[in-house]
């Protein structure tokens, strides 16, 4: 069993197993004390309801759950447990009561602090699914103002679409769903920005200070109450999809640092994958300079057939001499003998996110930054955007008229790191791509580093340590990169972006925890997937996506296709051999026609 776990997930830690609870035609899964996938029959009403505690770096604290009692009946199911959270010397003890009935769900929590408990957020989170909900009508009840009849955002909202929420009424499938919130002030954010396949209603408002303390001896009570019934008139909302002007698979890039470029075997490893491009990370704020540039230049000389792009994290201090700064970079590139195919410029201060309600840090205008870059790098292909993720691009939009391309990255473990949530992030990619294209317009769209593990945390002071090799939010090192899970997820990712008209995508690093190769040069399972995808650059995409039930990813070209099993169970493929758990394989176009229609996108 241990070997199987390592092959699939790169770790001996097994995935958490949920328990399915039912009451009449309603069902929900209890997992880690929280609920996911509330359904009425086959219709998903709510993606998740959870009581969560975040630390000062927005990491999710894992509770110690005791006294769990589940009482199941044909029409009602009751759950009780106690969850204990630790933050330094303080504790938060939360007593939970859950009721599931055929037409309602109630989730109540009473939290008591022992010691002054520090947290960025403590309380309920409710997640709405996105398909059929994005752009749909919703009635929002407020504590301080009259109710409003409005819509869930269709394109991704940069800021909270709704605040001061006491209730939400909307449709899911053929059901009218009513959500009530008690005990604190709730608001909603559009979690699609971070890759989560959900709209999130949460407590407490981001405009309030954080981190904050729950004082010793304080008791807090919160509740979420849901009811549903068949809708009088069902509404159908068309899914959001990116605009596609050219359905050709994008060029593949790999990201690497100067230290990785200096590795003796780097050129040989890159030849094994044969990407069209290499993204060289140069961070002036981390004192990257001549040594890193020399390493990039040496690797470029060894690989003249590969385009070397530069991701330049520039200092850009307020009141600084931007012309002198970028002219200095240009001289350094020339002195090292590095000839970038393009230069993406991002001010260092923009590597950190500016949440709602916070003051923007001092930074010269982006127009001034890119004007100085244009002058210093005359004749170069110049890009902008964010070295981090789509929320930062959405909230601080670049002057696209001054740029040749725009970019951002992706990380699926910002808010949740369990296997199912990571796979569910693939649902969100069409929403991110469409929303980004609305910003970018006709400029080239390059998708930056998009890996399970996080290379830099825009939302805290550090990425989260993961010595136990578990599934940890915002971890710099995720064990699944070692297993077949990452290979399947990456092929699913490729299938969801293939028809969007991207110019470049960056699915991995060369080395390190987000790399295709281990330190000794042996390939991880994901390496073969990326090599196969790199060979498809420029080919017309005939069919791409993920089928019903999120089981099979399909990416089809002229005479061949790539398929991946996105589940932890062997997947029957009709007359073709079963696809093993998180397995993938190339197939011919003829084989593709033999696959069960219920699996096909």
CATH number of the domain at 266, please.
3.20.20.80
506 within some domain: yes
- Token pair, residue 401, equals 């008229």
Looking at the structure, tell me whether residues 85 and 223 fall in a common domain: yes
Q: Which helix (H) or strand (E) holds 106?
A: strand 104-114
**Residues 531 and 585 both lie in one domain:** no
Q: Is the peptide bond before 204 cis (omega within 30 degrees of 0)?
A: yes
- What distance in Å separates the CA atoms of residue 56 and residue 310, rounded to the nearest whole number? 33
Q: Does 384 share its domain with 439? A: yes
pLDDT score for 234: 75
Q: Structural domain tally of the chain?
A: 3
Is the confidence at residue 209, as pLDDT, over 50? yes
Q: What is the mean pLDDT of residues 175-195?
A: 97
Residues 292 and 213 in one domain: no
Question: Which residues, including other chains, have CB under 8 Å from residue 597's CB and lie 6 or more apart?
Answer: none
| pLDDT at residue 70, rounded to an integer | 97
Query: Does residue 238 lie in a domain region?
Result: no
What's the pLDDT score for residue 1?
42
Per-residue pLDDT reduced to its tens digit, 521-559:
999 999 999 999 999 999 999 999 999 889 999 999 999
**What is the percentage of the chain residues whose pLDDT exceeds 70?**
99
Quote the Cα angle for 374-377-383, to 5°.
60
Say what the pLDDT of residue 360 is.
94
- Contact in structure between 105 and 28 (CB atoms under 8 Å): yes
Residues 225 and 279 occupy one common structural domain: no
In a domain, 360, yes or no: yes
Whether the full predicted model's pTM is greater than 0.85, yes or no, is yes
Which residues are registered as beta bridge partners of 77? 72, 100
Say if residue 590 is in the same domain as residue 537: no
pLDDT at 349 over 80: yes
Give pLDDT, residue 246.
64
Same domain, 477 and 427: yes
Whether residue 245 is predicted with pLDDT greater than 70 in this model: the reply is no
Of 139, 143, 163, nearest to 152 (Cα)? 139
Longest dimension (CA), the chain: 76
Q: Is residue 73 part of a domain?
A: yes
Give domain status of residue 9, yes or no: no
Mean pLDDT of 209-230: 96
How many CA atoms does the CB half-sphere of 90 hold within 13 Å?
Answer: 19
Is the predicted pLDDT of residue 189 greater than 60, yes or no?
A: yes
Q: Which tens digit of pLDDT belongs to each residue from 80-139?
A: 999 999 999 999 999 999 999 999 999 999 999 999 999 999 999 999 999 999 999 999
Kindly provide the b/e burial profile for residues 309-333, where b requires at least 16 CB atoms within 10 angstroms of the residue's own CB.
Answer: bbbbbbebeeeeebeebbeebbebb
d(CA 433, CA 498): 11
Q: Is 236 inside any structural domain?
A: no
**Predicted pLDDT of residue 57:** 82
Where is average pLDDT lowest: 231-235, 364-368, 445-449?
A: 231-235
Q: Which of 176, 199, 230 is the last residue of a domain?
A: 230
Asked if residue 309 and residue 217 are part of one domain, the reply reads no
Identify the sign of the CA torsion 15, 416, 312, 275: positive
Q: pLDDT digits over 454-491, tens only? A: 999 999 889 999 999 999 999 999 999 999 999 999 99
Q: Are residues 68 and 170 in the same domain?
A: yes
- Of all residues in the chain, the percent with pLDDT exceeding 90 is 92
- Mean pLDDT to the nearest integer, 302-331: 98
Query: Between these two residues, 232 and 518, which has the higher pLDDT value?
Result: 518
Q: Comparing C-alpha atoms, which of 427, 434, 474 is closest to residue 455? A: 474
Domain span at residue 579 reads 549-599
- Tell me, yes or no, whether 92 and 215 share the same domain: yes
| Structural domain includes residue 66 | yes
For residues 282 and 212, membership in a common domain is answered with: no
Instruction: Record the tokens describing residue 404, joined without a space.
Output: 């040749």
Report pLDDT for 236. 82
pLDDT for 470: 94
CA 22 to chain centre: 30
User: Residue 35's domain is classified under what CATH number?
Assistant: 2.70.98.10
Determine the straight-line distance between the first and last CA of the chain, rounded to whole angstroms.
32
Separation between Cα atoms, residue 236 and residue 251, nearest integer Å: 36
Residue-wise pLDDT for 256-297, tens only, equals 999 999 999 999 999 999 999 999 999 999 999 999 999 999
Whether 1 maps to a domain, the answer reads no
Token output for 392: 């930062």
Condensed to tens digits (0 to 9), the pLDDT of residues 49-76 reads 999 999 988 888 989 999 999 999 999 9
The predicted pLDDT at position 237 comes to 86
- 202 & 255 share domain: no
pLDDT at 232: 86
Strands 576-579 and 571-573: antiparallel
Residue finishing a domain among 230, 260, 292:
230
14 has a pLDDT exceeding 50? yes
- Give the mean pLDDT of the chain: 95
Q: Compute the chain's Rg from CA coordinates.
A: 24
Count of Cβ atoms closer than 10 Å to residue 98 Cβ: 23
What gap in Å lies between CA 196 and CA 208, rounded to an integer?
24
């Amino acid at each position: 069993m241990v070997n199987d776990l390592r092959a699939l997930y790169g770790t001996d830690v097994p995935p958490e197993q949920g328990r399915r609870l039912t009451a009449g035609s309603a069902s929900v899964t209890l997992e880690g004390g929280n609920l996911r996938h509330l359904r009425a029959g086959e219709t998903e009403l709510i993606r998740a309801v959870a009581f969560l505690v975040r630390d000062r770096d927005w990491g999710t604290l894992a509770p110690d759950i005791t006294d769990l009692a589940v009482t199941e009946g044909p029409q009602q199911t009751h759950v009780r447990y106690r969850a204990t959270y630790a933050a330094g010397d303080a504790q938060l003890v939360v007593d939970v009561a859950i009721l599931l009935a055929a037409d309602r769900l109630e989730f109540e929590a009473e939290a008591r602090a022992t010691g002054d408990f520090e947290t960025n957020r403590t309380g309920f989170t409710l997640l709405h699914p996105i398909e059929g909900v994005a752009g749909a009508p919703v009635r929002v009840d407020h504590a301080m103002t009259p109710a409003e009849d409005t819509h869930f955002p269709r394109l991704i909202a940069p800021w909270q679409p709704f605040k001061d929420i006491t209730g939400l009424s909307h449709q899911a499938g053929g059901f009218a769903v009513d959500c009530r919130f008690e005990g604190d002030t709730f608001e909603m954010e559009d979690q699609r920005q971070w890759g989560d396949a959900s709209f999130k209603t949460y407590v407490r408002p981001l405009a309030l200070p954080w981190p904050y303390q729950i004082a010793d001896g304080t008791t807090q009570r919160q509740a979420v109450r849901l009811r549903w019934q068949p809708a009088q008139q069902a509404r159908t909302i068309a899914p959001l999809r990116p605009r596609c002007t050219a359905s050709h698979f994008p060029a593949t890039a790999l990201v690497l640092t100067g230290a990785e470029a200096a590795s003796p075997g780097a050129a040989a490893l890159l030849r094994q994958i044969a990407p069209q491009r290499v993204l060289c990370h140069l961070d002036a704020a981390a004192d990257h300079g001549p040594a890193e540039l020399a390493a990039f230049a040496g690797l470029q000389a060894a690989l003249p057939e590969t385009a070397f792009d530069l991701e330049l994290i520039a200092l850009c201090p307020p009141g600084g001499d931007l012309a002198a700064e970028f002219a200095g970079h240009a001289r350094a590139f020339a002195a090292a003998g590095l000839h970038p195919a393009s230069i993406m410029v991002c001010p260092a201060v923009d590597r950190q996110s500016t949440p709602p309600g916070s003051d923007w840090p001092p930074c010269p205008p982006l127009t001034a930054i890119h004007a100085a870059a244009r002058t210093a790098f005359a004749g170069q292909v110049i890009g902008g955007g964010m070295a981090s993720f789509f929320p930062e691009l959405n909230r601080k939009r670049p002057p696209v008229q001054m740029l040749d391309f725009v970019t951002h990255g992706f990380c699926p473990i910002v808010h949740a790191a369990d296997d199912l949530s990571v796979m569910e992030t693939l649902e969100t990619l069409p929403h991110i791509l469409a929303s980004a294209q609305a910003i970018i317009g006709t400029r080239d769209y390059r998708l930056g580093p998009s890996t399970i593990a996080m290379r830099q945390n825009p939302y805290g002071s550090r990425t989260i340590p993961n010595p136990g090799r578990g599934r940890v939010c915002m971890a710099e090192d995720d064990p699944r990169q070692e297993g077949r899970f990452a290979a399947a997820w990456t092929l699913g990712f490729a299938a969801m972006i293939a028809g969007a008209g991207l110019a470049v995508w960056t699915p991995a690093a060369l080395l390190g925890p987000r790399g295709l190769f281990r330190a000794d040069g042996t390939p991880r399972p994901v390496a073969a997937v990326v090599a196969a995808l790199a060979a498809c650059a420029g080919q017309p995409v005939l069919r791409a996506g993920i089928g019903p039930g999120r089981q099979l990813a399909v990416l089809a070209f002229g005479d061949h296709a790539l398929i991946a099993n996105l589940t932890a169970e062997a997947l029957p493929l009709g007359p073709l051999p079963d696809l093993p758990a998180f397995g993938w394989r190339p197939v011919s176009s003829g084989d593709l026609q033999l696959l069960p229609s219920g699996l096909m996108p």
